[in-house]
Structure 1
Amino acid sequence: MNAALRRIQCGNALAAFGNGFTAPFLFVYASRVRSLGEGTAGAVMAVFAVAALAVLPFTGRVIDRRGPMPVAYLGSLLGVVGALGFAVSESASAVLASSALMGAGVAVLQPALATMIVACSGAATRSRAFATQFFLNNLGLGVGGLFGGLMVDEHRPATFTLLFVIEAAMFVVLAVVLATVRLPLPRTAHGSRAVPQEAGPAPKAGGDWHALMHDRSMVLLCVLGFVLFFACYGQFESGLSAYAVEVTRISPATLGMALAANTAVIVLAQYVVLRMVERRRRSRVVALVGVIWAVAWVAAGASGLVHGTQAVATALIIGTYALFGLGETMLSPTVAPLVADLAPARLMGQYNSAFALVKQLALAVGPAVGGLLAASGAYGVYIVLLVGCSLGVSLLALWLGRRLTAVQDRPYRSVVVAGRSDSAEASGYGRGEPVKEHAGAASGH
């Protein structure tokens, strides 16, 4: 990694570390520590998601007009204010306001950081850059959650205040680190006009979304992304955990072990998996993820059918979370870089924000559907639904693969065959090199 990318990754990891301090304890903090009740605690989580959905449709346009750095500063500022707001909030309205600020801040940081990573990487290095980001995110969240759990005490509100202060400090550190980064300037249409005509019409109100919606490959990728996030991430804290406790009948402590297994697989296997998948077709890698997750959901279903052998049932649930982690390590160097390679240079922020919006929608719909089926006891329907969604991921990925160019589906091999070096083609965002032209030209037609 070059110096700018190392700093971006460092700041991202520190922000994840701060978020790990508080994210697992928001519900307990609102419902018990501040004695606001479970209804208010649930509303805190909902407001967090709604705030993210509210700001993401506008984030991409600002990134493309002003650059990702001002947006990242704004996200950091909102994160600081939200975290400190949580630290001093004692009423429902104050907690909800803090949740909205935090949700908005975290939401706008995602596409801003993604755009920075694209700007500092090339086609041959982008998969590794996003895999590193995913690895550091999970490591930061895991370590932060571990230390937060050791420090927190439900009967001492001051311990929660300390956690939120630490999170606010990490947002400040993120902003300071990003202030030392110098990004390459994006190539604009009034330069050499490297952006192909298919990239979309001249900038105007609503024009960016119009161009994106007419990019059929990107629309298909967004559909695929929604199903991916719905079938995995959207179930961790709702349907799957309810199934594990209510049907498989494991203890909450064992459920924590399963979550730890998920994180351990990601941290330990990320770079091993990366070496295996980065030179292969992205569409086939994602299709394989769908198969792996279908097996994971079958294992989860089987854990509820094993009677009298609790050890086997427990092993099946832990294996389910581990298989999800394996799939996640395969997605991190695949999907986000594909968004970047589909995007015209002048709409990089818009494409990253649109995909972040799709992810947020799935994370909102997933727990709602999973919780509803769990509440009604329809666990058989639940497992069948998620197995079907996983297999749907495979079919959608193969369909998408038929629309991608060789550069988009297998960029590492394409760059090597063309004899390009990293220094010659890093970064498409900043220089509008031929790789970006190929990506834009085939993305929607």
Structure 2
Amino acid sequence: MTGPRGRMARAAEGLPRTFWFLWGAILVSQLGSFVILFMSMYLTKERGFSASFAGLVVGLAFGGGGMFGTLAGGFVADFLGRRRTLLAGNLATVVLMTALGFARDRVSILLLAVGVGMASNMIRPAASALMIDLVAEEHRPRAFSFQFWAVNLGFSVAGALAGFVIDVDYTLLFLLDAATTLVAAVVIYVAVPEPARGPGGTPARGKGAGRGGGVAAVLRDRPFLALVGLAVLFSVVFMQHMSTLPLAVQDAGLPPAAYGWLITLNGVVIVLGQLFVPRLVRERRPERVLALAAVLMGGGFAVIAAGTSPAFFVLSTLVWTTGEMLNAATGPALAASLSPDHMRGRYQAFFTVSYNVAGLLGPSLGGYVLQHAGRALWLGCLGLGALTALGHLAAGAARNRSAARRDPVPQPSAPAP
């Protein structure tokens, strides 16, 4: 088979059945991710709140609340189990999301939105840790690529469907979001068992399972912290796609729909690219792949400095989307290789929280630079991307030594009944 079906079959080779149920749960949940995309519009147009209050809600919910939920989810996943954390996070999201849809006063909306941000982000490190448990090390880059594919496909479909849902009733956004989250929880409950666990309550993975460790242990791991710091820099540039890029489209005199088409193009490229990216990064040195991804991310936005016709925006999106795909296929797998077996949830939480930190920093920094320096923002993205690339190349040797010192990871053990 040499067509798309054959490429997909080769890309899926070696990934266990349980992984695909987990992948399906992620996809279903993302298909209903309406609220995160349209919260600001809902609060201003439907509820009549100010833009500043809408910004406060979104920032606290999906920035601050998301950061706390991500870190908490990693610790809970290590101590209570991946499956329990996934079920608790999904079910809490269902309840809080439904309540948020019917909330009307400022305090209730703010508190419930923060609760949704915390509960929904608990799921992310637990899902990543479970994927690491289930998938052999050599197949993890492809597993994370498929996870990335599911998230982006879900967001693309959700964005398209939301326009029809809004025409009926804004409250329906919250109810459908809660419904898809509930379906995801049912899939996990029925088809995703907890991996087999050792005597100490940690995944049965050899000598490392008996050692302790907490925040201090993670903070002492300099190669891993360097990776997290570089992930923050990369994501600060990436965040411009949802903060300053729409402003650039507007300033270029293009209609608002043009930005929507760019985001759709981003999703289409990602969906198609996952047929090829896993093969491209296989057996490549991760620091080189991440360095290239950073240069492409910064360079993609730098294209806008050269011109603001639709062709430049399309070219820009194609370039930075390529960097996004390379980073998503390599970064999480590299973080997994640096994590002790009994601390996978915590390490994935710290790595994932880099996105939350960038979500707080990227839009505000980008907006400030765009307001005061105009197009210099896009050249600054290139500079920050190049700096991130140099950081990856400089840190590569130390990271490789750190990964080599970890206990060998055997083939994933059979799930517990």
TM-score (norm 2): 0.88
| Counterpart position of 1:227 | 233
Which position in structure 2 is the counterpart of 1:391? 386
SS of 1:427's equivalent in the other structure is coil
Shift of 1:25: 1.5
- Secondary structure in 1 aligned to 2:207? coil
The 3 A distance-change label for structure 1 pair 397 and 145 is same
The percent of aligned pairs where both chains have the same amino acid is 24
Q: Which residue of structure 1 aligns with residue 121 of structure 2?
A: 107
How do residues 319-398 of structure 1 correspond to structure 2 at under 5 angstroms?
319-374=315-370, 376-398=371-393
Measured after TM superposition, the shift of residue 159 of structure 1 is: 1.6
Q: Is the 8 A contact 1:274 1:329 kept in 2?
A: no
Q: Which moved more, 1:250-259 or 1:104-113?
A: 250-259
The one-letter code matched in structure 2 to 1:178 is I
SS state of the match for residue 206, structure 2?
coil
Tell me the residue number matched to 1:215. 221
**1:282 Cα deviation after fit:** 1.3
The one-character-per-residue Cα deviations of 1:402-436 (angstroms, maximum 9, x if unpaired) are 12338959xxxxx9xxxxxxxx94328989xxxxx
Cross-structure match for 1:287? 291
Residue of structure 2 aligned with 1:426, choices 400, 411, 414? 411
What are the superposed Cα offsets for residues 288-326 of structure 1, whole Å, 9 maximum, x if unpaired?
A: 11222232122111125xxxxxxxx21111211221211
Post-superposition offset of 1:187? 4.2
Partner of 1:266: 270
* Secondary structure, aligned partner of 2:196: coil
| 1:161 alignment counterpart | 171
Q: Deviations for 1:162-205, whole angstroms, at most 9, x for unmatched residues? A: 12111101111111111121232244669999335xx9x953xx
**Distance (Å, rounded) in 2 between the aligned partners of 1:179 and 1:193:** 24
Contact 1:265 1:322 in 2 (8 A): yes
Within 5 Å, give how 1:124-273 maps onto structure 2.
Answer: 124-153=138-167, 159-180=169-190, 181-187=192-198, 194-196=206-208, 202-203=211-212, 207-232=213-238, 234-246=239-251, 248-273=252-277
2:335·2:348 contact (CA, 8 Å) conserved in 1? yes
Q: Which amino acid aligns with 1:2?
A: P
CA distance in 2, matches of 1:11, 1:404: 32
| 8 A Cα contact 1:17 1:144, kept in partner | yes
* 1:433-444 equivalent positions in 2, closer than 5 A: none
- Partner letter of residue 386 of structure 2? L
- Shift of residue 364 of structure 1? 1.2
For the aligned residues, what is the CA RMSD? 2.5
Tell me, yes or no, if the aligned pair for 1:122 and 1:428 is still in contact at 8 Å. no
For residue 49 of structure 2, what is the aligned residue in structure 1?
36
Distance 1:13 1:190 in 2: 29
- Give the 3 Å change call, closer, same or farther, for CA 209–315 of structure 1 in structure 2: same
- Aligned residue for 2:137? 123
**Aligned-residue offset at 1:285:** 0.8
Q: 1:194 to 1:161 in 2, by over 3 A?
A: same
Correspondent of 2:27 among 13, 18, 34:
13
Question: Given that residues 295 and 323 in structure 2 are in contact (C-alpha distance below 8 angstroms), is that contact kept between their aligned partners in structure 1?
Answer: no
Asked if structure 1 preserves the Cα contact closer than 8 Å seen for 2:304 and 2:312, the reply is: yes
Q: CA deviation at 1:384?
A: 2.9
Which consecutive residues of structure 1, in runs of 5 or more, have no partner in the other structure? 305-312, 410-414, 416-423, 432-445
Aligned pair partner of 2:39 in 23, 26, 32: 26
Q: Write the distance in 2 (CA, Å) between the matches of 1:268 and 1:407.
A: 34
Unaligned runs of 5+ in 2: 1-14
Equivalents in 1 of 2:214, 2:414: separation in Å? 17
Give the equivalent residue in structure 2 for 1:296. Answer: 300
Within the candidate set 311, 330, 345, 1:315 is matched to 311
Aligned counterparts of 1:369 and 1:348: Cα–Cα separation in 2: 32
Mapped to 2, the partners of 1:186 and 1:118 lie a distance apart of: 14
Contact 1:26/1:41, CA 8 A, preserved across alignment: yes
Partner of 2:9: none
**Alpha carbons 2:94, 2:178 under 8 Å: kept:** yes
Q: TM-score scaled by structure 1?
A: 0.83
Answer whether contact 2:82 2:127 (CA < 8 A) is retained: yes
CA deviations 1:51-89 (Å, max 9, x no partner) are 122333333222211111221122112211232123212
Query: Which AA in structure 1 matches 2:184?
Result: L
Partner residue in 2 for 1:443: none
Note if 1:80 corresponds to 2:94: yes
SS of the counterpart of 2:137?
coil
2:379 counterpart of 1:404: no
1:241 Cα offset (Å) = 2.1
Cα distance change, pair 193–14 in 1 and its aligned pair in 2 (3 A): closer
In 2, Cα distance between the equivalents of 1:361 and 1:125?
A: 29
Is the CA contact 2:297–2:321 (under 8 Å) kept in the aligned structure 1?
A: no
Deviation at 1:161, TM superposition (A): 1.3
**Residues 82, 194 of structure 2: 8 Å contact kept:** no
Q: 1:187 to 1:230 in 2, by over 3 A?
A: farther
Secondary structure, aligned partner of 2:399? coil
Deviation at 1:357, TM superposition (A): 1.6
CA distance in 2, matches of 1:282, 1:341: 11
Q: 1:213 to 1:188 in 2, by over 3 A?
A: farther
Query: 1:103 deviation in Å?
Result: 0.4
